[in-house]
Each structure stands twice: as structure tokens, then as C-alpha cells.
């Protein structure tokens, strides 16, 4: 699964109950069929996006500490095993060495599994983020009388008044805050998807 995940393009048919153009003007944006947001700023400047990045970094730090502790323990165990070699029956020593090698392999596999899980979480975070904030963006879509909301990266040129990023950040912080504690397993949208920016790699990698 590649790092960049996808979020469904929000396309809503306007009907009876949609606010009039005066509402859009009060929001500081034009009445337009198309409005744009900066998806990267939503991830980096909202409380929820910052929380996701912080949790991933904390998980990475824990994994690094775990790996360092395991490496230190294995180094000490290997040293102790080597020191007993001269006074240990060869067959018994071979069994001890084989057991140590099996332990190293198991711990390495555990570390690789945890690394994959961390990478997968980092990959899924942007999609989870957009699923949570989508109702807020849908509301903005209706209030501005737009029929489509685009990521500004896919727009060659637009009037700044059509960019609702600042308003979206304010609304998301007020409505979503730091976000839910748990989410259902997200699935990439199967159609009409645009690429989401990925969360920065933990530790700036």
C-alpha cells in the first residue's frame, strides 16, 4: 500500500434547503460552483491532524527505545555465552548457541512486524483524518453553494477568495477538536478519489 492515501472528492447535488448566496458572502468566500482547500494545511494545522502526527512520533520513539533495549540485552547475552564456551560441553554449547540464534531471529521478526504496523498506521492516518472531518467540509460545501471541493494541488489557478482552508481549519478545530479515540478500519475509496498528502515521516525521515 503506497504511502499516499486517498479521500473521496466531495460532490453534493444542491437542492431545496441550500443556503442562499448571502451566506457564502458572510463566510468571506464567493458563491461558486468550485471551492478549494489546502489538504496539507488541514493535516498540519488542525488539532486533530497534529494529534495524529504526535501519536505516530511517540509510537516511533517507543519502537526505537524497544529496539535499543533488545539490542543491548542480546549483546550482553552473546558476550556471556561466548565466555562460557571454553568450559561448556561442545554439544551443550551448540544447543545454547542455536537457541540464542532462534531468539535473535524471533526478536528481529517482532521488530520488523512492529515497524510495518507503524508504517501502515502512518499511511492510513490521512484517510482516517479526512473521514472524520468530511462532515465539516460538506457543510462548507453547502454554505458556499458549491458543488465540488478540490485540493488546491489539483487546481492550476484560482481566486484566493475561493480558498476556504482557513475557515475549514477553524471549523474542524471547533467541531472535531483532537478527534475520536478510535475509528473503524478505513478502506480506500474505489472511485473519484484524489491523492491525499501523507503525514510527515516520524522524526523527519
pTM, 2 dp:
0.68
| Nearby residues of 156 by Cβ (< 8 Å), 6 or more positions away | none
The separation between CA 175 and the C-alpha centre of its own chain, rounded to angstroms, equals 20
Query: Scanning the structure block, which residue is given the C-alpha cell 478505513?
Result: 186
What is the Cα Rg of the chain in Å?
25
Q: How far apart are CA 180 and CA 199, in angstroms?
A: 18
Q: Is the pLDDT of residue 1 over 60?
A: no
Q: How far apart are CA 181 and CA 36, in angstroms?
A: 28
Residue 38 cell numbers, joined: 489546502
pLDDT per residue over 37-69, tens digit each? 899 999 999 999 999 999 999 999 999 999 999
DSSP string computed for 14-59: --TTPPPHHHHHHHTS---SEEEE-HHHHHHHSHHHHHHHHHHHHH
Residue 163: pLDDT band (50, 70, 90) is confident
pLDDT per residue over 23-34, tens digit each? 454 555 556 688
Could you give phi then psi for residue 197, rounded to 5 degrees?
-70, 145
Amino acid at each position: 500500500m503506497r504511502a499516499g492515501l486517498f479521500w473521496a472528492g466531495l460532490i453534493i447535488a444542491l437542492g431545496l434547503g441550500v443556503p442562499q448566496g448571502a451566506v457564502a458572502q458572510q463566510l468571506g468566500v464567493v458563491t461558486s460552483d468550485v471551492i478549494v482547500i489546502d489538504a496539507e494545511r488541514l493535516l498540519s494545522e488542525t488539532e486533530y491532524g497534529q494529534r495524529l502526527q504526535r501519536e505516530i512520533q511517540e509510537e516511533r520513539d517507543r519502537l526505537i527505545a524497544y529496539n535499543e533495549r533488545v539490542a543491548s540485552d542480546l549483546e550482553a547475552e552473546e558476550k556471556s555465552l561466548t565466555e562460557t564456551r571454553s568450559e561448556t560441553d561442545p554439544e551443550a554449547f551448540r544447543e545454547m548457541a542455536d537457541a540464542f540464534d532462534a531468539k535473535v531471529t524471533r526478536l528481529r521478526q517482532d521488530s520488523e512486524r512492529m515497524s510495518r504496523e507503524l508504517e501502515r498506521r502512518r499511511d492510513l492516518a490521512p484517510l482516517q483524518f479526512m473521514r472524520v472531518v468530511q462532515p465539516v467540509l460538506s457543510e462548507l460545501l453547502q454554505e458556499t453553494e458549491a458543488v465540488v471541493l478540490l485540493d488546491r494541488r489539483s487546481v492550476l489557478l484560482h481566486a484566493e477568495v475561493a480558498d476556504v482552508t482557513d475557515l475549514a481549519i477553524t471549523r474542524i478545530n471547533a467541531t472535531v477538536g483532537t478527534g475520536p479515540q478510535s475509528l473503524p478500519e478505513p478502506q480506500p475509496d474505489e472511485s473519484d478519489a484524489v491523492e491525499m498528502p501523507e503525514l510527515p515521516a516520524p522524526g523527519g525521515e
